[in-house]
Structure 1
Amino acid sequence: MKNSLKGLGAALCVALSIAAQAPAGAAAAAATGAAGQTLVQRGAYLAQLGDCAACHTAPKGKPFAGGLPMNTPMGRIYVTNITPDAQTGIGGYTEADFARALREGVAKDGHNLYPAMPYPSYAKVNDDDVKALYAFFMHGVAPVQQANRESDIKWPLNMRWPLMFWNMAFLDKGAYRDKPGKDVAWNRGAYLVQGLGHCGSCHTPRGVAFQESALDESGSAFLSGALLDGWFASNLTGEHNTGLGRWSDEDLRTFLKTGANRHASAFGAMTSVINNSTQAMSDQDGAAVSAYLKSLPPAGGNGAPAYSYDPQATRVSLDRPANDAGARVYTAYCMHCHGVDGRGFAPMLAPLAGNPNVLAKDASSLINVTLNGTGDLVINGVPSPFPMPGFAAVLDDQQIADVLSFVRAGWNNGAPTVGVAEVAKLRQSTQAGR
């Protein structure tokens, strides 16, 4: 951001110099150009906050050209091209068209977007930010001619007109409005979390119609954790065991900047969020997001007593030779990174003792990351040195169930065991097509 601000300052100086020497018409044009560039730069930052690249850029694809496959309960859809190409992208969109698609889920030609596009969250984006985003996508993104791909959803579920009724039932229109009695930082954090950050799209449970169970802190399910595409998106409330109750403000801000702290490391889709979005967040916005999240009351816990670290029983079970099947797998494959004490070597290597993802009732993320590993966190252009490897080709379903059950019981974690059938199901769904 500092370099961007220096560049902006230089641009404004040039514009003022031209204005002093040029006729009135040329001076006006120069000022308009500088203002336009400022708007584009602001839109670029907002697009990072919205993590637009993560969904609209396919692996090895061109930025914002779409094509990324996304699984939904009805079938697979493919994310659209949002570059300013006139034929295959959004080059023909007016600002009003863009705003309608962003906040109401309706494309320029009138067809409804699937709510995998988080327009129920983007509905809260204010007019000034919509204007800046439009300027960025029209003038700050290279046009790419790449046709959009039809979804794999079969008829009649692929019909879009019923989404009009879905919107009538579940879409709350209107930009975010500051809550009285809350300070500037809290309201800014709420605006980012509920709106551009669309955190609820992954971290809030969904109902039978795929609607988010709550859109803000007024609903107890808001950000309480949810299963999505083979991962369990973590609880972001103040719950002591599975949420952020034991995280300090510094812990949370560190996680947003780097994807790791003394409690946990990012995995699954959250890796992309860190890489493409939150690490670019200004310190002021990061502090605002942390202030808001840390204000949320506990919700969605597993009913277990508050976690406290106790290594004794686990240390005994790991004595050579390890005395159960899970401990033997852990000793052979896991202990060198995560330690006999389960505390890992944070933030480089995640702890398992007291890790909220280990304590969660749903073990999907643990199974998925053990089978498939996780992508590299790339912070300031530098990949993380120790990404979690996948063990799908090394360990069978029983071994993975055994070691995860051991981890979930170890160090006083006290979480439920993992069944072989759970591992087999996720192996089948995540390994298909690899």
Structure 2
Amino acid sequence: MKASLALRLLLLTLPAIVAIAMGNAGRETAQASTDDAKQAAAPHRADAVSGADATLLERGAYIAKAADCAGCHTAPEGGAPYAGGLGMGSPFGTIVTSNITPDVRYGIGRYSYDDFAKALREGVARGGKRLYPAMPYTAFAKMSDGDLHALYTFMMQGVPPVSKPTPPSDVAFPFNQRWMLRFWQWAFMPHKGVRQPSGRDAQWYRGAYLVQSVGHCGACHTPRGFAYEERGYDESAPRFLTGGINDHWFASNLTGDAGSGLGRLSETDIARFLKTGHGAGIVAYGTMVQQIEDSTQYLSDGDLLAIAHYLKSLPAREPSGTFAPQDASTQPSANGNRVADDQSLGNIVYRSFCARCHGLDGKGVPNVFPALAGNPSVLAKDTTSLIRLLVEGGNSPATESGPPRQRMPAFAGTLVDAQMGQVLTYIRSAWGNNAQPISGNDVHALRQLLHK
């Protein structure tokens, strides 16, 4: 009887017990959500820190600018800073950048410092997810502990959390199998810091660190191998910074080659280019525009000169076209494969569509339109950027200390492929320029790629 009564009482009270339990669970869930919200919001008030913490936060903000974290981790057309969503083209498909705000659900809000360091230095996210080398962890592997701590502090305390999931990447099989990246990382990850050869001054070491690590210049300017690895991570590699193709732009040769490289630019020219997008008649274009706008224009003059100092120490490698302005005035109108200007279809197109901005002498307008005479991008062996600029047009950077933005119109609807090839061939052989011709087929092939 007592057992039966106890059972009946239990059955009568069970709904209430369940309701109480569910209520408690609901309150616990709500509390957990509240805690998550507090965790997401509380640490990210930059005005709540002071003293040493404020100094660390400021240093972290500077490192984030130098590394251009926002440039890759911000979606185009009004995306929230650091919230991801930018699609990056690769030979294996489109890799979408992740949310790196301190949101606890979709971002890195639950990352410890060790988690953060492992992601940046080893390419392994929290939970063991391996990252594609579109993220330059091969460069960040050389980042100093002090800079890494400062960057972590900034990302956790100086960036507002954004509750936004990362869209999936569109990478074809078998490259979408991330476990395979373990072998890639084993084969291609550098296992040493910045080299310190004897006889170099402090400015050189600072420049080497900024170029090789934080600034990860090699991610674009070093050619890739068969497995999408960079063909070298410092000046000891013969292909380091000799130019590479990314998303149908050719990032130029940064070695001392006097034709397509930096051989004819001074350290001051290079530093000014990184600050304003203009230097020695050269103007930034393509993806370098965003790099300057989001990153290098904010670097200190000392760091910009250190970068320039390091780059100017690199020997000439991968030479291509040449520039001999002293020969331009004495050069016959028909020389070798050149046709007399008044008989050249390329010259006719140039005078009709290009000379107004770039000048009949190819010298451009200082701080407005780039010079074409002696321009390294004009002389480069790889003509991807040259053709793309003519097809799609472009614009110069808009910076705090540089000239106003200027735009180049697209000629895709004005000139046919053959005309584009002719005018580019003329430009690459005029005013002392000496580079290989460009055919209409070259133009057509790139236009097909751009419209896929």
Query: Which TM-score band (shorter chain)?
Result: 0.7 to 0.9
Distance 1:341 1:383 in 2: 22
Are 1:39 and 2:59 counterparts? no
Name the CA distance, whole Å, in 1 between partners of 2:309 and 2:75: 33
For the pair 1:63 / 2:69, whether they are aligned, the reply is no
CA–CA separation in structure 1 for the residues paired with 2:331 and 2:352: 15
Q: CA deviation at 1:382?
A: 7.3
Pairing 1:402–2:432 present: no
Taking structure 1 as reference, are residues 117 and 309 closer, same or farther at Cα in structure 2, changes over 3 Å only? Answer: farther
Contact 2:272 2:279 in 1 (8 A): yes
Question: Residue in 1 aligned with 2:9?
Answer: none
The separation in 2 between residues aligned to 1:48 and 1:125, in whole angstroms, is 14
Aligned partners of 2:425 and 2:438 also within 8 Å: yes
**Between 421-430 and 326-335, the greater mean CA deviation after superposition:** 421-430
8 Å contact kept, 1:205–1:221: yes
Q: Is the 8 A contact 1:239 1:298 kept in 2?
A: yes
CA distance in 2, matches of 1:42, 1:48: 10
Residue of structure 2 in register with 1:107 after alignment: 125
Alignment match of 1:217 (pick from 209, 231, 235): 235
Quick one: which of 367, 391, 394 aligns to 1:347?
367
Instruction: From the superposition, tell whether residues 413 and 108 of structure 1 become closer, same or farther in structure 2 (CA, over 3 Å).
Output: same
In 2: Cα distance, 1:217 partner to 1:429 partner: 32
Q: Which one of the candidate residues 254, 276, 298 is aligned to 2:294?
A: 276
Aligned to 2:226: 208
Between stretches 122-131 and 321-330, larger displacement belongs to 321-330
Q: How far did residue 386 of structure 1 move?
A: 2.0
Q: Is there any run of 5+ residues in structure 2 with no aligned partner, and where? A: 1-46
SS in structure 1 of the partner of residue 289 of structure 2: helix
SS in structure 2 of the partner of residue 218 of structure 1: coil
Deviation at 1:371, TM superposition (A): 1.1
Matched position secondary structure for 1:70: strand
> Mind listing any 5+ residue stretches in structure 1 that lack a counterpart?
1-29
Task: Please tell me whether residue 49 in structure 1 is matched to residue 66 in structure 2.
Answer: yes
Report the alpha carbon displacement of residue 111 of structure 1 after superposing the two structures with TM. 1.1
Question: Residues 241 and 307 of structure 1 are in contact (CA less than 8 Å); yes or no, is this contact kept in structure 2?
Answer: no
**1:160-183 CA distance string (max 9 Å, x none):** 111111111110134436443321
Q: How many angstroms apart in 2 are the aligned matches of 1:194 and 1:321?
A: 45
Check conservation: 1:126, 1:176, Cα contact below 8 A. Answer: no
Deviation at 1:401, TM superposition (A): 1.1
CA change 1:81–1:320 in 2 (3 A) is same
Amino acid at match of 2:96: Y
Shift of 1:57: 1.0
* 1:32–1:401 Cα change, 3 Å: closer
Deviations 1:1-37 (A, max 9, x none): xxxxxxxxxxxxxxxxxxxxxxxxxxxxx99732212
Instruction: Give the structure 1 partner of residue 172 of structure 2.
Output: 154
Provide the aligned C-alpha RMSD in A: 2.3
TM-score when normalising by structure 2 = 0.84
Shift of 1:139: 0.8
CA distance in structure 1 between the aligned counterparts of 2:330 and 2:412, rounded to whole angstroms? 29
Show the counterpart of 1:333. Answer: 353
1:262 offset after TM fit, Å?
2.0
Distance 2:72 2:380 in 1: 26
Larger deviation: 39-48 or 394-403? 394-403
Residue 400 of structure 1 deviates from its aligned partner by 1.1
Question: What TM-score comes out, normalization by structure 1 length?
Answer: 0.88
Alignment of 1:29-428 (within 5 A): 33-59=50-76, 60-176=78-194, 178-302=196-320, 307-312=324-329, 322-380=342-400, 384-428=404-448
Alpha-carbon distance between aligned partners in 2 of 1:301 and 1:394, rounded to the nearest angstrom:
33
Measured after TM superposition, the shift of residue 155 of structure 1 is: 2.0
Pairwise CA distance, 1:375: 3.7
The answer (yes or no) to whether the contact 2:362–2:431 under 8 Å persists in 1 is yes
Matched residues, number: 402
CA distance in 2: counterparts of 1:32 and 1:372, whole angstroms: 47
Per-residue CA deviation, residues 284-318 of structure 1 (Å, 9 max, x unaligned), is 1111111111111110112x556335444899699
CA distance, structure 2, for counterparts of residue 293 and residue 236 of structure 1: 7
**Shift in Å, 1:431:** 3.6
- Following TM superposition, by how much is the alpha carbon of 1:376 offset from its aligned partner in structure 2, in angstroms? 4.2
Structure 1 residue 68: Cα displacement: 0.8
Cα offsets for 1:54-95 (capped at 9, x unmatched): 111121211111111111011111111111111111111111
Structure 1 or 2, whichever has the larger Rg, is 2
Q: Note closer, same or farther for the CA distance 1:305–1:274 as it changes in structure 2 (3 Å cut).
A: closer
**Quick check: 377-386 or 321-330, which moved more?**
377-386
Aligned identity (percent) is 47
Quick one: structure 1 residues 345 and 315, their matched pair in 2 at CA, closer, same or farther if it must change by over 3 Å?
A: farther
Equivalent-residue separation in structure 2 for 1:319 and 1:119 (angstroms): 49
Tell me the secondary structure at the aligned position of residue 95 of structure 2.
Answer: strand
- State the AA in 2 paired with 1:102: L
